[in-house]
Chain A
């Protein structure tokens, strides 16, 4: 069942095309990663999902309802954490958390709220003006996770948190998932996305350029190989799918396209392999490949 569905979404600000036909779908109980460089359109997409911006064309539906028309009904079932949390300087953190929870109109589990404050090591008695970026983010995170939601929309929620707090956050996401909630997580921290997400979408210049499960995306990428053989392998650098070839300490070091791996191993094994190390592609490799594509090869488009 789809909790969130976005089809051919476009948004223009004056002459600037911010989104150009974005498609997204998040299923129930799924943690969905949304990654892309700065200015790619992540926050614009999220603000359309929240009914803050009106799409130029295409549609965005949450729980089968239109994000713009039925904003209020949708918002009863979601919790949102922005990346840049702006708060009222003369209210305390505790006051803001209560205010947010009250406005969500959900039943608040006081012990859960207290537990979250303790886990996040958060002092609710200070005025918001005295909070650091990380502490302001904690306000939004505690208000989001202190009550259940069917969908959590998190826009770079951990950009100001320390690694210890990041772990608390990941725990919150696990627990939400266990209860059957869905999560849309936009993030720059790729290790976090890798650890938490079932599926990801990569957005660049307002277009989704890749989406699917992490396993399926890995097929599209390259694997790092380090190989030593008894005999010299002829023409290794000109075999199909081989990239960045070099020889270090009598080892062949290169990358190979995932779909050419089988061919490559067959070819090399004829020459007596004595050592073979392979490193799986990280999301970062994947991301970097697309990202670099936009700076070097993007000029022709």
Chain B
């Protein structure tokens, strides 16, 4: 009885499970719902084998392969093959992130917050919490696997059968298990939550990238990525089970290593050496803007890369549009096709609207940071110094406006750069960039709206995300659902002329920019007169 590392695992498991069950459902239900919705949508959008084969052809270019993986079963592109080929990888990445967050919450985060210390002071085994976290991980992924398999089979489509659906669910569950294991290992190496997550994301990012490069060129390389191996299962076409076995085995080895490391290390410590940081602040940091930029640095860089990737992937499909889209009635309806313009041009105008909404997200992320600084009690440090409220709000607002421009440029330059080389239609680089940048005033209205909310009703600041979601849905589904113009008109993006199809209207530009400035001004007015929250 000298050492019982697993003592009380059961009790801790029940405790952790109760804590997590709601959060996990909030992940699992949308993941399954999305999978099922997409399966149904494919079934509705591509009714005949000809339509599906036309789609299969667009999958043959390297950009698509890099994005969603090697095509398989393309000569008989069934609904099942289409679902697995286009959705499985994306969904697997989401499941991986869910599992990584789960493990980091239950292990390193509890340890960093000192909660683990209190539990470990009770009669409890050294590995009890880690074991319990692993049980939660395994159960979560098994539940996800079964619900996915059952839901997909229940759709009753010919090509989406039980054998394939079970494998589809298993690929998702196995991905979750593997990246959960990776995160557990990372939690032993790093001594803080952020570092652990960074290590986890690094492995996930590398897996995706190695597979991308492999799938679009050197196929051998893909087998060095766990995601590449899992896609080798060729769900709904060949249903190979061996990739599942390989990855589960790998996960078990990683878990064993992590448990061993957990046993030999101190509570609160990590195995990687702690780097010591700067002793004094660099001149860059010593200003309002410098501080804000420093706090947002990582996410801004990530967003620029993200916007460029989105731009590249949209840009690379522009070449195949004319051939393919003309045959799909559903897509014609989404883009509201009319006769006198080329399909590509009409598609581009919808695409640019969506890109504009995407670039709004990082701009709002920048502004909303101010709210979280206030909530976390850090704003009062600054306000207790001779720094005016005007200056603080101005800094974040200015950065937010600037971010909207940078993000939009990053996306459109990537899109246009690739687009003009692959398109058959004659649209110049400059035309595309111009057609994108006219959306800036619409983005600014959302930023101004966020500022007004922050100034006057701090507690409702989050409402801005709902407004953005609403705007996105009106663009995405507006024509499909035949929504009346006054509802569509609630979205600022609706009023922006769609270049190159429409004429540029300076009146709209000026009015929209004016509204954005007015809303921002209201934000200043409110912020100057309200209490600072804690």
Contact partner of B277 (CB less than 8 A), chosen from A50, A80, A103, A126, is A126
Q: Are A88 and B295 in contact (CB under 8 A)?
A: yes
- The B interface is mostly helix, strand or loop, or mixed, namely loop
- Verify A103–B380 contact, CB threshold 8 A: no
B278 contacts A125, CB within 8 Å? yes
Known contacts: A72-B388, A84-B377. The answer to whether A47 contacts B285 by CB under 8 A is no
CB distance from A210 to the nearest CB of B (A): 28
Tell me the bound Cα distance from A280 to B373 in angstroms.
48
CA distance A125 to B277 in the complex (A): 5
- A87 within 8 Å of B (CB atoms): yes
A22 to chain B, nearest CB (A): 17
What secondary structure prevails in chain A residues at the interface with B? mixed
B294 touches A103 (CB 8 A): no
For B377, the chain A residues whose CB sits under 8 A away are 82, 84, 86
**A249 contacts the other chain (CB 8 A):** no
Question: For B286, what are the chain A residues with a Cβ–Cβ distance below 8 Å?
Answer: 98-99, 102-103
The complex places the Cα of A140 from the Cα of B378 at a distance, in Å, of: 12
B386 within 8 A of A: yes
Q: How many whole Å from A145's CB to the nearest CB in chain B?
A: 15
From A52, A80, A84, A94, give the contact of B280 (CB < 8 A): A94
Instruction: Given the known inter-chain contacts A99-B286, A102-B287, please indicate yes or no for A124 contacting B532, CB distance below 8 A.
Output: no
Contacts of A127 in B (CB 8 A): 192, 277
Q: Which residues of A contact B282 (CB under 8 A)?
A: 95
A47 CB contacts on chain B under 8 angstroms: 380, 532
Does A278 interact with chain B (Cβ within 8 Å)?
Answer: no
Would A125 and B281 count as touching, CB distance under 8 A? no
Given A54-B530, A86-B376, A86-B378, A95 and B385 contact (CB-CB distance below 8 Å): no
**Contact status B278-A103, CB under 8 Å:** no
Closest chain B residue, CB of each to CB of A78: B384
Number of B residues whose C-beta is below 8 Å from A?
36
Within 8 A of A (CB), among B278-329: 278-282, 285-288, 291, 294-295
Query: Closest approach, in angstroms, between the C-beta of B300 and any C-beta of chain A?
Result: 14
B387 within 8 A of A: yes
* Complex CA distance for A92 and B274, rounded to whole angstroms: 13
Q: Determine whether the beta carbon of A76 is less than 8 Å from that of B530.
A: no
**Nearest CB in chain B: distance from A140 CB, A:** 8
Chain B neighbourhood of A52, CB < 8 A: 380, 383-384, 531-532
Judged by a CB distance under 8 angstroms, whether A213 is at the interface is no
New A-B contacts (4) at CB < 8 Å, excluding given A71-B388, A82-B377, A125-B276: A84-B377, A95-B280, A104-B386, A105-B385
Task: List, sorted by A's number, 23 A–B pairs whose CB atoms are closer than 8 Å.
Answer: A47-B380, A53-B531, A75-B384, A75-B385, A75-B387, A76-B386, A82-B384, A87-B378, A90-B194, A94-B280, A95-B280, A99-B285, A99-B286, A102-B286, A103-B288, A103-B386, A124-B279, A124-B280, A125-B277, A126-B276, A129-B112, A129-B192, A129-B194
